[in-house]
Structure 1
Amino acid sequence: MRSGYSAAFKALLTRFAHDTSGAIALVWALASIVVVGMVGAAIDYSRTVNVKEEMAMELDGAVLAGARFLASSTDIDASKQHIVDTFTQTAALAIGDAADLKISPADVTINETEGKITATVKGQVQTAFMKVLGIETMNVSVTSQANYADKYLEIALVVDLTGSMKDPDGSGSTRIASLKTAAKALIDVLIPDETSDRVRISIIPYSQGVRLSSSDASAVTDGYSQRCVTERVGSERYTDAPYTSEFIGGGSGYMLGRTLYYMGYRLPDLIYDPEDVPEFYDRYGDGLGACPTEEVMPLTQNRKTLLDKIDAMSANGGTAGQTGIAWGWYTLSPNWNNLWPTDNEAVPYSNEETLKYMILMTDGEFNDVYKTIDITEKDCPGYYRRGCTSTTTKTWWYEHYNQTTDSSNRAKSLCTAMKASPANQGKGIAIYSVYFNPTSNAMAEATMRDCASSSRKFTYASNGQALTETFVKYAKEIQQLYLSR
């Protein structure tokens, strides 16, 4: 009996030893954990990579925003906070603020010596599947760098306000309206806040001359003109020598009479404003010569002042483009500082921290030049003989119209001289130019192209949208923003 139980127990042990059904289930259970963990790990890893890419993209944008901020400000702490705030806002929109994602605030350093911004952001992504393997979170870290413009900028914006700017711009608006839009877009880039302690801009509206205050006009013309000024024709015509070395021509005024007009040129009104003699102005019309209604604005960092000047611009008259170029240069030249208020003075050419630029725009050929003529009383226009007597000869400035070649050549000579000035560490004032017109004009394009510092700094804008894009492109290039990873 005992032997029977023993045999039965032995048989049971043998069956148990050879029974694999439980082992397979156990192995499969263990294997399933590994398989699910591996598949889940791939999903968790892919999601983490996507989050990291989004973080990097938003951090790049925030750092670039900080570089733009520093392009118009020297406030390092404010720039750091601007980067942190920008990343926090944009990341929340792009990535979200889900409970399974934690991102630390951006850690920002700014190297003022190298002009470089470095920002790092770290985060943790909670896993959905890898928890079964004991991995609760996956760490992410991204770093972005950008060079920022650590220079100071002085920029002369020289704009055409001639009569043709009332014409269509090729995109459903007028050229003057499109110019205002483009100029404001340029200001938005260069001076985005109320003021800037890095960027100053002057605005030089030109047509057949430029307008100054009564006292300034009198000073630079040696008492000859009370409102409009033009160019020089002596040995200093293509220099930025101060006006005390050679006075500026008066002019671009309204006809005083027909005598000289029928001789092929027009004599400017040097004493009277058209409002003083409306019947005379109405008789001959504004097409016979017009100075811009807006005065030259010297360098300023005030955004509102610049925008107000742009809003007030109106179009009228012919195109003495060389006068606009010359006066743009004078606003950038330290040799002319005694004409401007202290806050509007240009820094010396030797200042290595400041870069000087001109942005020049026209919608057509330059066609007006100024010359002088000596006449006595009998030759004076009949309406106004003031300044002439029977025994004296007076030198008068007069406008000579339809002189496209002469006007263009004078403009190009001024541009050449500006580019050879001591500015920008001896590299000269850098000139950006744009020809803005739906219709191509070979001479106008050639003048603008020759004035530009390089072919890349010239643009033909065939409509208003293209003009705005050009001004924004020039503004960003001047800022010298480069994003590096």
Structure 2
Amino acid sequence: MRQFKALVRGGLVRGVDGFARDRGGNFAVLFGAAASVLALGVGFAVNISQLYNARSSLQSVVDAAVTSTARDLTLGVIKEADANASVQAFLDANSTAGILQANQIVLDTLTIDRTAKTVQADVHANIGLYFPLFSMGNMQRVTTSTTALYSDKKVEVAMMLDITGSMAPNRRAKTNKIGDLQAAASQTVRDLLGQNRDPSDPRIRVAIVPYAEAVNTGGLAGTVFVETEDGPKVPPPIDAPLSVSLTTAPDKCATERKDKGGYADFSSDGPYALRRDNKGKTYQAKVNRDYRMRVCPSAALIPLTADEDKLLDTIGHFSAAGVTAGGIAAQWGYYMLSPSWRSAIADARLGAGPANFDQKKVAKIAILMTDGQFNTAFARGHGAAVWQDQGETSRANAEAICENMKRDGIEIFTIGFDLNDPSMTTTERDQAKSVLEDCSTDDTSSLKHYYEAATGAELSDAFGEITRNIEKLTINR
């Protein structure tokens, strides 16, 4: 009996050991289970991605549809009775956006609130899933809602465009950055002004501020005070003899406006604003032309206008030369959007000038573009160190002005063009990016404000997205 038990015990041990050593079956079972879980995970991830993309596409289409309809209602292009058909027609025409397919978008409700002055659309699309899983079924409904302001909100856009020497065509590198800018800026003007329905009462107007070492003020040259090396740094008193106030201007360019202490003035005050000099005498706050300035850009600024041909002609004649005075560029962009400059612009017969700061009635937009480091300034702000170099001063001035602009409700977009150019040092590149990021308005979940573009195509894309973002500023989800 003991031998039998030992035999059985030994055979059982050897059998179990053999089974344990034979892992072919175990591996197949485990692999099958793992593969099933992996397939479920991949399928679930694909479905989530599909639904996310569908919702994003749906949101973009309904945003555009409702914004367009609200604008048409405001301008009297359509009547309220036509609004439903207008939205549905837009949805049908753009129903294949992203991964959506034709006729997938369904308008559930359209609500026009005359008191709140809003147009709200609720829509859905039924999406066929690639991997139906468990209770998800073959179809999933994606819904979204958008509300657009039903108002006659005006839009004023000031474009501060870099036309410095580094923008010139480069045969060796086979680049033509000034040409890229001309193409992108021209298309932006067309896209923006193309939205105006009534030429006599345009909803959108655009100003252009080409800049390099200074800004050519063009028809606003009468707002410039021409300094001399040994003379005062502010204009003569308003009661001074006429001969005292006469100074020959070699060009129409301006640098920073200075206060009586010679420091940069970051306000948006108009040139007719009154100041007191160190002797208590009253003078007008004209903008300085520093005597050290050497190269005046040939392209002059254009105040706010809806004259597309005038803007395109100016852009078409851009010529690249000079260094980069970014602080001066920001200053003049501020002026072009400030109602304090309305009288001076009207007196120069350059248009009606900017509207008042009123975010409920007017969207004021600044676009600051450069291809390099701000490196030139002629006046530093109060409190700045005396040893501060021109580059640091220019960047600090620009940031101070940008803060004032944002305080006044101006939305600032910035574009860095070809900032990774190998000719720039790491420090120069970092400084260029930093000032643009600091100047721009903070991003939101739906609006980006700082862009980088490496090529002409990317520059056009950046301007195009900013144009679309300007329209999004009227969206209130």
TM-score band, normalised by the shorter chain? 0.5 to 0.7
Match of 1:328?
Answer: 333
Shift of 1:175: 1.2
Indicate whether 1:447 and 2:435 are aligned: yes
Provide the secondary structure at the position in 1 that maps to 2:266.
coil
Map 1:41-80; keep pairs closer than 5 Å.
Answer: 61=61, 64-65=64-65, 67-68=67-68, 74-78=74-78
Kindly provide the CA deviation profile for residues 21-52 of structure 1, in whole angstroms up to 9, marking residues without a partner as x: xxxxxxxxxxxxxxxxxxxxxxxxxxxxxxxx
- Displacement of 1:358 in angstroms is 0.9
Provide the secondary structure at the position in 2 that maps to 1:313: coil
State the AA in 2 paired with 1:218.
G
Alpha carbons 1:337, 1:346 under 8 Å: kept: yes
Do the aligned partners of residues 402 and 179 (structure 1) sit closer, same or farther apart at CA in structure 2, a change above 3 Å counting? farther
Tell me, in whole angstroms, the C-alpha distance in 2 between the residues paired with 1:73 and 1:312: 38
Partner of 1:246: 285
Question: 396, 403, 406: which is aligned to 2:390?
Answer: 403
Secondary structure of residue in 2 paired with 1:204: strand
2:224 equivalent to 1:220: yes
Report if aligned partners of 1:160, 1:206 keep a CA contact under 8 Å in 2. Answer: yes
Query: Which whole-Å CA distance do the structure 1 matches of 2:90 and 2:466 have between them?
Result: 29
Give the counterpart of 1:208 among 206, 213, 216. 213
How far the C-alpha of 1:267 sits from its partner, in A, is 3.7
Distance 1:73 1:311, change over 3 A: farther
Q: For residue 300 of structure 2, give the secondary structure of its aligned residue in structure 1.
A: coil
Alpha carbon RMSD of aligned pairs, Å? 4.2
Q: 2:458 aligns with which of 461, 466, 472?
A: 466
CA contact (8 A) 2:209 2:302 kept: yes
- Structure 2 match to 1:4: none
Residues in 2 aligned to 1:169 and 1:70: alpha-carbon distance in whole angstroms: 48
Determine whether 1:231 maps to 2:223. Answer: no
When normalised by structure 2's length, the TM-score is 0.59
Deviations 1:291-329 (A, max 9, x none): 222211111123333333322222221111111110110
Structure number with greater Rg is: 1
Change (3 A) 1:143 1:70: same
For 2:353, which of 345, 355, 368 is the aligned residue?
A: 345
Q: Is the 8 A contact 1:156 1:359 kept in 2?
A: yes
Contact 1:161–1:207 at 8 Å: present in 2 too? Answer: yes
Which whole-Å CA distance do the structure 1 matches of 2:441 and 2:157 have between them? 14
Give, in angstroms, the shift of residue 68 of structure 1: 3.7
1:240-293 Cα distance to aligned partner (Å, 9 max, x none): 122244321115xxxxxxxxxxxxxx844xxxxxxxxxxxxxxxxxxxx42222
Identity value in percent: 26
Paired amino acid for 1:239: S
CA distance in 1, matches of 2:217, 2:271: 14
Which amino acid in structure 2 is aligned with residue 358 of structure 1?
A
Match of 1:478 in 2: 470
Deviations 1:63-90 (A, max 9, x none): 8256247559941334877985796699
Provide the C-alpha distance between the structure 1 equivalents of 2:171 and 2:367, rounded to a whole number of angstroms: 19
Closer/same/farther in 2, CA of residues 476 and 316 from structure 1, 3 Å limit = same
TM-score normalised to structure 1 length: 0.58
> How far apart, in 2, do the equivalents of 1:169 and 1:117 lie?
53
Q: Which amino acid in structure 1 is aligned with residue 269 of structure 2?
A: A
Report the equivalent of 2:126: none
2:419–2:452: 8 Å Cα contact kept in structure 1? no
Query: Does the 8 A contact of 2:148 with 2:475 survive in 1?
Result: yes
Code of the aligned partner of 2:363:
L
Partner amino acid, structure 2, of 1:357: I
SS in 1 for 2:161: strand
Distance in 1 (CA, whole Å) between partners of 2:150 and 2:187 is 19
Residue of structure 1 equivalent to 2:363: 355
Question: 2: distance between equivalents of 1:418 and 1:209?
Answer: 20
Q: Which amino acid aligns with 1:478?
A: I
Structure 1 SS opposite 2:210: strand
CA distance in 1, matches of 2:363, 2:474: 17
1:85-96 to structure 2, matched below 5 A, reads 91=92
Q: Is the 8 A contact 1:236 1:246 kept in 2?
A: no
The answer as to whether partners of 2:270 and 2:344 remain within 8 angstroms in 1 is no
Q: How does 1:152-301 map to 2 (within 5 A)?
A: 152-167=154-169, 173-193=175-195, 195=199, 197-213=202-218, 216-221=220-225, 224=247, 225=249, 226-234=251-259, 237-244=265-272, 245-250=284-289, 267-268=292-293, 289-301=294-306
Query: What are the residue-to-residue correspondences of 1:129-140 with 2, within 5 Å?
Result: none
The 1:471/1:153 distance shift into structure 2, 3 A limit, reads same
Change (3 A) 1:206 1:250: same
Q: Structure 2: how far apart are the matches of 1:240 and 1:475? A: 25
Is the CA contact 2:61–2:94 (under 8 Å) kept in the aligned structure 1? no
Structure 1: distance between partners of 2:63 and 2:193: 18
2:372 paired residue number:
364
Distance 2:268 2:73 in 1: 30
Change (3 A) 1:211 1:86: same
CA contact (8 A) 1:184 1:310 kept: yes
Distance change >3 Å, CA 483–CA 198, structure 1 → 2: closer
C-alpha deviation, 1:144, in angstroms: 8.1
Distance 1:187 1:146, change over 3 A: farther
Q: Which whole-Å CA distance do the structure 1 matches of 2:65 and 2:340 have between them?
A: 36
Q: Is the 8 A contact 1:116 1:145 kept in 2?
A: no
Query: Measured at CA, do residues 322 and 229 of structure 1 come closer, stay the same or move farther in structure 2, by a change above 3 Å?
Result: same
- Residue 117 of structure 1 deviates from its aligned partner by 3.6
CA shift digits 1:385-417 (9 cap, x unpaired): xxxxxxxxxxxxxxxx98211221221122122
Distance change (3 Å), C-alpha of 1:217 and 1:119: same
Q: Distance in 2 between matches of 1:184 and 1:451?
A: 24
Residues 84-105 of structure 1, C-alpha deviations (whole Å, 9 max, x = no match): 579669958989xxxxx9xxxx
Q: Does 1:315 align with 2:302?
A: no
SS in structure 2 of the partner of residue 359 of structure 1: strand
Distance 1:326 1:87 in 2: 45
SS of the equivalent of 1:77 reads: coil
Match of 2:415 in 1: 434
